[in-house]
């Protein structure tokens, strides 16, 4: 199927929220199927196993990183412990030819199908995205909108820390404007 069509494959994520929003345009698959067939691939696995994400089949593709770092689960990763990189930059280093976009990490999977609202609804929730490739971010912004959330672009992958765990906007049900305000005042743990 040509790039640009509404099709994505989901890598190791709960299939129900994706299918409810996209119908037959997306489905869960194995790691290999997602990498081979998806135009947009969602990586939703613990960071400790992210080295298993295939590199070559994802070259040139948009990869959504939904991860959050929990050293208790993932083991200590020095670059994340000292905050010299973000989870998405870490994944991008593993996938140098892919276009990694941080998104959906601050919304529980079940809320993807329960919290979405039509565009223009004053209570519509915002959803953050960050990435270094403008085309990939545009694709992900459209997907966020299809889920019923207002995309909030916070810039490059390096800014993805602003919506990681323990930041004001993480997990909160905020409108796009409220989320922008929370992201703007976020502080790294090392700066507290």
- Read off the CATH number of the domain in which 95 is found: 3.40.50.720
Residue numbers of the domain that contains 48: 8-191
If one counts the domains in the chain, the total is 1
Q: Is residue 3 part of a domain?
A: no
Higher pLDDT, 24 or 77: 77
Q: Examine residue 161 and state whether it is found in any structural domain, yes or no.
A: yes
Domain-embedded: residue 39: yes
Residue 49 burial by CB count (10 A; 0-12/13-18/19+): exposed, middle or buried?
Answer: exposed
Q: What is the CB neighbour count within 10 angstroms for residue 154?
A: 21
pLDDT of residue 155: 98
% of the chain exceeding 70 in pLDDT: 84
User: How far, in Å, CA of 129 to CA of 152, rounded?
Assistant: 6
pLDDT confidence of residue 3: 39
- Please check whether residue 91 lies inside any domain of the structure: yes
Q: Name the pLDDT band for 122 (thresholds 50, 70, 90).
A: very high
Residue 1 lies in a domain: no
pLDDT band at 82 (very low <50, low <70, confident <90, very high): very high
Does the residue 71 lie in any domain?
yes
Is the Cβ–Cβ distance between 133 and 155 less than 8 Å? no
pLDDT grade, residue 1 (50/70/90)? very low
Mean pLDDT of all residues in the chain? 86
């Amino acid at each position: 199927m040509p790039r640009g069509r509404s099709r994505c494959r989901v890598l190791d994520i709960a299939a129900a929220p994706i299918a409810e929003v996209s119908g037959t345009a997306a489905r869960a698959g194995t790691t290999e199927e997602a990498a081979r067939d998806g135009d947009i691939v969602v990586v939703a696995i613990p960071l400790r196993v992210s080295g298993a994400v295939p590199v070559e089949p994802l070259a040139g593709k948009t990869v959504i990183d939904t991860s959050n770092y929990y050293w208790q689960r993932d083991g200590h990763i020095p670059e994340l412990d000292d905050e010299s990189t973000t989870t998405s930059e870490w994944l991008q280093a593993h996938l140098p030819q892919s276009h990694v976009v941080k998104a959906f990490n601050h919304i529980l999977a079940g809320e993807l199908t329960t919290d979405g609202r039509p565009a223009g609804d004053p209570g519509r929730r915002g959803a953050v995205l960050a990435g270094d490739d403008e085309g990939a971010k545009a694709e992900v912004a459209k997907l966020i909108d299809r889920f019923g959330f207002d995309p909030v672009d916070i810039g490059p992958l390096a800014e993805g820390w602003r919506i990681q765990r323990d930041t004001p906007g993480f997990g909160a049900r905020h409108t796009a404007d409220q989320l922008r305000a929370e992201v703007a005042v976020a502080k790294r743990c090392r700066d507290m």
